[in-house]
A and B are shown apart, each in its own frame.
Chain A
């Protein structure tokens, strides 16, 4: 037989099977309904499972609240820590935060009287809490309010907020005021707290003010945490050598731990200066912790009456001399030396520093004495000192006096001591105060958002391992995951029972149907339909009935899911413990899953039909010839 004829026979079997179903349309409808009776509830169940879980996931994913990781204890987190955290793949956003207690202000809308207490929280570019709740990141003169804060203050977008940072100093209440424009109001879900989101420097200023410090940029008065000098050692020059006991006593509870006697060459090599050759010279030094001003005083006290002269000493410091146009003029090695003219005379000091004795204020210490052969042009010089993770620059005046020999430049001992401190602490030169000011070592807390809700638990465990307990919404996340698991299990159990039932029913129905049509099947075989071809007859029917059942189920699903979506929302809200957003359907099946369900049904129907089909092939064509 030709291929075309083969094809035709195939389509003949297909047409015959459909005509048979049409002929027995009542039985066919019963079968279709039987399938739909099993399938429709399964679709509804799956729709509910999918809808609720998907919605729950989306809800959690959409709301940055669930990605938030909040430290539960205060610790110091430095710049490096934040840099490290920023580089993690599971972290979407991290920024420093101050101590919570220092971060409240009293605020009111300019022109209104209602004063309310607000938390101030730092924000910066990419902050998901601000960006995903309908506001833009504020600039340095703006703030973003939470909805409840805005309501409380009766503030609108564009209003000016006056924020007062208050403190009590010496029993007196004082405050620093600051004006910020409301650039955004967050949606309700963002926070239940009355908060104001501002740039970090504003929060730092408030914190500093509350700590009693001045904030010149906002015109707030107070103290300044001035930088203090630290020394590597102390050069002592005396007319007479000390005894062993005397030497030892200088290392006893003075802050210095070692003492050595130096001749003039050694002194020159160590400190860059010399004293008269008849003088006895010692170097006191420390091995680990640098010594402070108090150590110098302590040594001074012990040497009282011995006619000793002290030169605080800092090991040579590398620095760059920069001119007003920012160009490096010279790379210098700085030595420390301060001495009054009387002291210089008494010790035969060389060179003699033109700035005299070391003393405050700092403006009088910003001086440098350069070697004679260093040619310098320009004015408004500054010195730049570098360390691993930063530089410190400050203006410096070049003394007209020059050092006749050598390549070392001298700076006042106290300035050198401050540069020594810079190795350990953060210092900046405050232009308005003309002071070296200490600033924060680190931050007490942080704000962090994970990239995904699935990253939250990993980060929580990461911090737990570092003994840093954090607060996360992992419970809410787990609730959805648990719900998903539970519903999946129930779904599959029911699906198993349902599918088994429908397979059994389909097999039974199709089998009974071909058994009833035994004679017709035999006639078909007799007039030339071979077994393998007739095998398709019940299979086509099974597929048709399965598809019909599926279509009917889809219609039922459409009706009932619409009903569920419109009628049962309040109950589901209650069940979940949080409200669903409008327009979210929690009983739905995506198109792709629907297709999968259809193909699943068709495949199962075809497999069930195969049992009946096996029976058909067993029929003897001879049966048709005999009339029972």
Chain B
């Protein structure tokens, strides 16, 4: 499906998005100026903890709504329309999460009661997609996890688990994949391997990849663009964070 969309199509369009959060009397404010993501881009979001990384990921993952936004849209490839996030309901967001997004979570986020195969095929079955075997088998082969298919996730190593998570995120051919520190629990060498494989797969599939990490070195060679946060601690109780692009 993504083969048809041009490279320049905006996948995410954010303008003047503000999220305010209060925690234990401390106010945190994240500000995103203009942030546009094009189809097939590999965006790396880098920052230390407490800078608003997770908050941004929650919003891009459609799990959290901003406090206010001038513009916050996502392109739905099915009918090629821009969807307004701010005015949509929880069930609509759930529907977009299901069809348009793939997630790779820190420790995989695999369901322990399903086998690797069941985990990978879960998004397909949730979307009612049949005949995905060829595609999924290809993914599995590429990620070198064929032998793990009948196992439960608990018997997998950290790296294997992340590969399974990547396969699951791509199984239902979503236009966008969000990855949150996908290699946090993996040694450096394996991590680099995984990232390269991840990027290759997404590029081949024309998938937009948003990866959040604290490790600049890991992504600096592979990412198309890199973003970070400008944290301004205005007082003891008030922290402001400005999202901005940074040079690779």
Contact = CB atoms under 8 A, between A and B. Distances in A.
A625 B95 contact: no
Interface in A1-52: 1-2, 4-5, 8-9, 12, 16, 19-20, 22-24
A490 interface: no
B105 A624 contact: yes
B70 interface: no
Interface string B163-181: 0000000000000000011
B114 A16 contact: yes
A223 B118 CA distance: 108
Given A23-B152, A622-B64, A626-B54, A526 B128 contact: no
Nearest to A5: B128
Contact of B94 (A12, A529, A626): A529
Nearest to B99: A528
Nearest to A523: B109
B123 interface: yes
Nearest to B54: A626
Contact of A527 (B97, B113, B114, B128): B97
A627 interface: yes
A520 interface: yes
Contacts of B106: 627
A22 B98 CA distance: 25
A524 B105 CA distance: 12
A531 B94 CA distance: 9
Interface in A300-344: none
B103 to A, nearest CB: 6
Given A620-B63, A625-B105, A530 B152 contact: no
Contacts of A626: 54, 58
Contacts, number: 94
B125 A12 contact: yes
Given A4-B128, A624-B105, A526 B97 contact: yes
B57 A625 contact: yes
Contacts of A624: 63, 103, 105, 109
Contacts of A5: 127-128
A520 B128 CA distance: 21
Interface string B128-141: 10000000000000
Contact of B95 (A1, A16, A22): A1
Nearest to A530: B94
B113 A23 contact: yes
A627 B107 contact: yes
B16 interface: no
B98 A527 contact: yes
| Most chain B C-beta atoms within 10 Å of own C-beta, residue among A8, A12, A526, A530 | A526
Contacts of B64: 620, 622
Most buried by A among B58, B113, B114: B113
Interface in B73-98: 90-91, 94-95, 97-98
A520 B103 CA distance: 14
A518 B103 CA distance: 17
A233 interface: no
A538 interface: no
Contact of B63 (A2, A529, A622, A627): A622
Contacts of B123: 527-528
Interface residues of B, number: 32
Given A19-B118, A531-B90, A627-B105, A2 B128 contact: yes
Nearest to B181: A627
B97 A528 contact: yes
Of the listed residues B94, B122, B125, the one surrounded by the most CB atoms of chain A closer than 10 A to its CB is B94
A316 B181 CA distance: 129
A484 B171 CA distance: 64
Interface in A493-545: 519-520, 523-532
A2 B129 CA distance: 12
A528 B98 contact: yes
A622 B128 contact: no
B20 to A, nearest CB: 16
Which of A528, A532, A626 is the most central at the interface, judged by chain B CB atoms within 10 Å of its CB? Answer: A528
A23 B151 CA distance: 12
B111 A621 contact: no
B112 interface: yes
Nearest to B98: A528
Contacts of A526: 61, 63, 97, 103, 109
B247 interface: no
B126 interface: yes
A528 B98 CA distance: 4
A530 B92 CA distance: 9
A620 B54 CA distance: 14
Contacts of B99: 528
Interface in B165-205: 180-181
Nearest to A22: B113
Nearest to B123: A527
Interface in A612-628: 620-622, 624-627
A61 B109 CA distance: 68
Interface in B211-229: none
B126 A523 contact: no
Nearest to A4: B128
A622 B123 CA distance: 18
Nearest to B57: A625
Given A19-B113, A527-B98, A625-B103, 9 more contacts: A12-B126, A16-B113, A520-B112, A525-B94, A528-B95, A528-B97, A530-B94, A620-B64, A625-B61
Interface of A: 1-2, 4-5, 8-9, 12, 16, 19-20, 22-24, 519-520, 523-532, 620-622, 624-627
19 contacts: A1-B95, A8-B125, A12-B125, A12-B126, A22-B113, A520-B112, A520-B113, A523-B111, A527-B97, A528-B94, A528-B97, A528-B98, A530-B94, A620-B63, A622-B61, A624-B103, A625-B57, A625-B105, A626-B58
